[in-house]
Structure 1
C-alpha cells in the first residue's frame, strides 16, 4: 500500500534536518570567578575595576601567550573544547546609604554566527551567499566596547555593538528605562574581521574590525573591509546578573563607575582547543540542540552542560562586596551619573 501524504511529509521533514546546516549556535557558560583582573588591559597587575569571568579556568591577571587561555584544566562552558575566556564588568547596587553591594553574576551565553565573509573586491555586497568565516586564530585577544564611554553615537559600530536587556524586554543601547524579569544582561558583539597578522594591538582594537558598513556590513556580519580582510566567526556574548528585586535602574552601576550603560564592554581571549572543528561547526550543526556533541564531541557522548569551577590559580584576596556593601567601588572608581539617552531600541 502506498504511504500516506502525512507519512511522506514526516519523512521529508526528517530528511531536511540532516541536510540543512545552522548559521547560529550557542555557547553557555557558568560563572567562573569575580576578581579585579584583566589580562588584556592590565596584564600582571590589578585591573582598574572588577570583572565577572567565565570559561577557561586559566583566567588570571597573569594569563598570557598564544595558549594562555587554552592551557587550562577545564572550562565552565558547555562546549568542553571551548577553553576561551570571556569577561565583563561586574554589576553593583547602590544602596540607600550610598554604599555598593555586589550583585550575583549568573553566567554568560554566547551566540556563534556564520554571518561574515572575507574581503573580495570583485564581489561587493552582503557576501552574496558566500560566507567563509574561520575560527579566530589561537591566542587572539579582543575587546568590544569602551569602559570610558558615557554617551552614544549611532554611527559608530564599536558603540552600536554594546547593548543591554532587562529580562526579555528587548535590547536597548544604554541602561534600560525599566527593569523587568528579575535579571539584566550586558550584550557585546565582538568584531569579526581580522588583519591576518596581529593577535593584539596597542589599543587592543586596531588588529580587528567590524564588517564594512559601505558593503552592507554591521556588527553582526557582512563583508570585511580591505584593511581587515579575514572573516572570523561572529561572537555575540550576553553576561547575566540577578537584580535581586531591584526595579529602579538608577540603583545600578557597573564596576567601572558607569551608570549610563554605554561604558559596558567585554573581553575575549581565544582558547578553543580544536580550531578546525570550530570552523567546521556550521556544517556539522543542524540546529542548536544537535550542535554540542555532533560538532565538538563529548566525553560521555551526550550533550554536556555548563558547570561551575574554580580558577586554576586563586586570585589575590580582596573584598569586592560579596559579604556586604562597600563604601566605594573596588579600585575607587568614581560614579559617573550622566544624563542618559534612554530607550533607544536596537535594529
Structure 2
C-alpha cells in the first residue's frame, strides 16, 4: 500500500476508534554535517544532513543523558512541546560539467507554504499506541543501498515527481528521470512496533519492526505511533536539459554519493515534553491532510512564522552555496 493510501485509510477511521492523525510543519533548523546517531561526537560526520525540530540538536546526543525537552530553547515545529529532531540526507544536483549544487527544501504547498523549508511530519495511529520513551531514537533505510530490492525492504521510502502540488501517483524507489514541474517529494516512514525495552540498538533499527499481517510480532509487541516525513525538494530551478547529463540519465545525488536514490533513509530522536505526545495520541487528535488545520486542544502551538525563527548556526563551517567541485565530506562521486 502506498503512503497516500495509508494516510487516507487513517483519515477514514472514526475518532472514537483510537485513531490519531497529527500532521504539522517543521521549518529548517540547520543544514550541517552532524549525525548524533550513526556518528556520535564526530565533527564533521561523513555526509551532510538537513535537520528540523528542537535547537538542542548536537553532534553528541546520548540516549541516557540528553533530554531534548529540557535543553532546547525553541523548536522549528508548529507544536511547541515537540523538541524532537528529524533529519535526512541532503539532495544535490550534479550538472553536466560535473559540478554540484545543493537543492533547497521548500514548504509543503498543501498548507505550509510559509515554512522556510524543512519537512512535514506525521504521527499516525489506528488503535491504542504507546508514545516513545525519553532517549528513544531510530533510523530507517540505509545509505549503502543501491538496488531496488534493498530499497523495498522499507515500504514508503519513496520519491514522487510532482507535476502539481496534489500529485500522488507515480511513486518510485529511485530518482525520477524526468522534470518534476512542482518539485520532488521524498517520503520516509518508520516502523510501528517496539520491543518494549530498548530505546536504541547497535544498528539503531533492531529495537523496532514493521507489523506482520497488521499485527506486531511477538519480538516487538508494543504498538508505537507511525512517524512519517515528507520532504519537498525544490528541483524546479534545475529543469534545464542543458544542465542535465548528455546521455539523458538523471542528475540528482544524495549527499552521501548515491545517484540511484535507493539509499534514501531517515533519522529520528524523540524529544516531546513530558506526556504531550501520549496526550495527543490518547485524545485522537486529527489534522487535515491538505491544509494547516489541526484539532488538538491538548497541544500548544505556534505559527509557522514563529517556527521559522528557530534556527541554528552550522557547527561545521564549509561552503554549501553556489556550484561546488565536490560533495561536502568524503562522499564525492
Q: Deviations over 1:10-57 (max 9, x none)?
A: xxxxxxx99787532202111011010000001100211100000111
Structure 1 segment 134-283 matched on structure 2, within 5 A: 134-153=130-149, 158-167=153-162, 168-170=167-169, 171-212=171-212, 216=213, 222-247=214-239, 250-281=250-281, 283=283
Q: Secondary structure at 1:202's aligned position in 2? A: coil
CA distance in 2, matches of 1:165, 1:317: 32
Q: Which entry has the higher C-alpha Rg, 1 or 2?
A: 1
Corresponding residue for residue 296 of structure 1: 299
In 2 relative to 1, CA 193–157 (structure 1 residues): closer, same or farther, beyond 3 Å?
Answer: farther
Corresponding residue for residue 4 of structure 2: none
Stretch of structure 1 that moved more, 57-66 or 144-153: 57-66
In 2 relative to 1, CA 176–138 (structure 1 residues): closer, same or farther, beyond 3 Å?
Answer: same
What TM-score results when the alignment is normalised by the length of structure 2? 0.79
CA distance in 1, matches of 2:294, 2:146: 38
Q: Secondary structure at 1:223's aligned position in 2? A: coil
In 2 relative to 1, CA 21–229 (structure 1 residues): closer, same or farther, beyond 3 Å?
Answer: closer
Structure 1 residue 62: deviation in Å?
A: 2.0
Task: Verify: 1:95 aligned to 2:95, yes or no.
Answer: yes
Structure 1 segment 80-119 matched on structure 2, within 5 A: 80-105=80-105, 106-115=117-126
In 2 relative to 1, CA 26–72 (structure 1 residues): closer, same or farther, beyond 3 Å?
Answer: same
CA distance in 2, matches of 1:89, 1:294: 34
In 2 relative to 1, CA 159–19 (structure 1 residues): closer, same or farther, beyond 3 Å?
Answer: closer
Which of 50, 62, 79 does residue 64 from structure 1 map onto? 62
Kindly indicate whether the alpha-carbon contact (under 8 Å) linking 2:194 and 2:224 is maintained by their aligned counterparts in 1: yes
Corresponding residue for residue 11 of structure 2: none
Q: CA RMSD in A?
A: 2.6
Q: Deviations over 1:183-240 (max 9, x none)?
A: 112211011111111111111111111112xxx2xxxxx3111111111000111122
Aligned residues: 290
In 2 relative to 1, CA 286–142 (structure 1 residues): closer, same or farther, beyond 3 Å?
Answer: closer
Structure 1 residue 94: deviation in Å?
A: 0.7
Corresponding residue for residue 29 of structure 1: 26
Task: Verify: 1:42 aligned to 2:34, yes or no.
Answer: no
Structure 1 gap segments, 5+ residues each: 1-16, 116-130, 217-221, 336-347
CA distance in 2, matches of 1:77, 1:109: 9
Q: Secondary structure at 1:185's aligned position in 2? A: strand
Corresponding residue for residue 109 of structure 2: none
CA distance in 2, matches of 1:141, 1:202: 11
Structure 1 segment 125-136 matched on structure 2, within 5 A: 131-136=127-132
Kindly indicate whether the alpha-carbon contact (under 8 Å) linking 2:286 and 2:296 is maintained by their aligned counterparts in 1: no
CA distance in 2, matches of 1:80, 1:303: 11
Kindly indicate whether the alpha-carbon contact (under 8 Å) linking 1:44 and 1:61 is maintained by their aligned counterparts in 2: yes
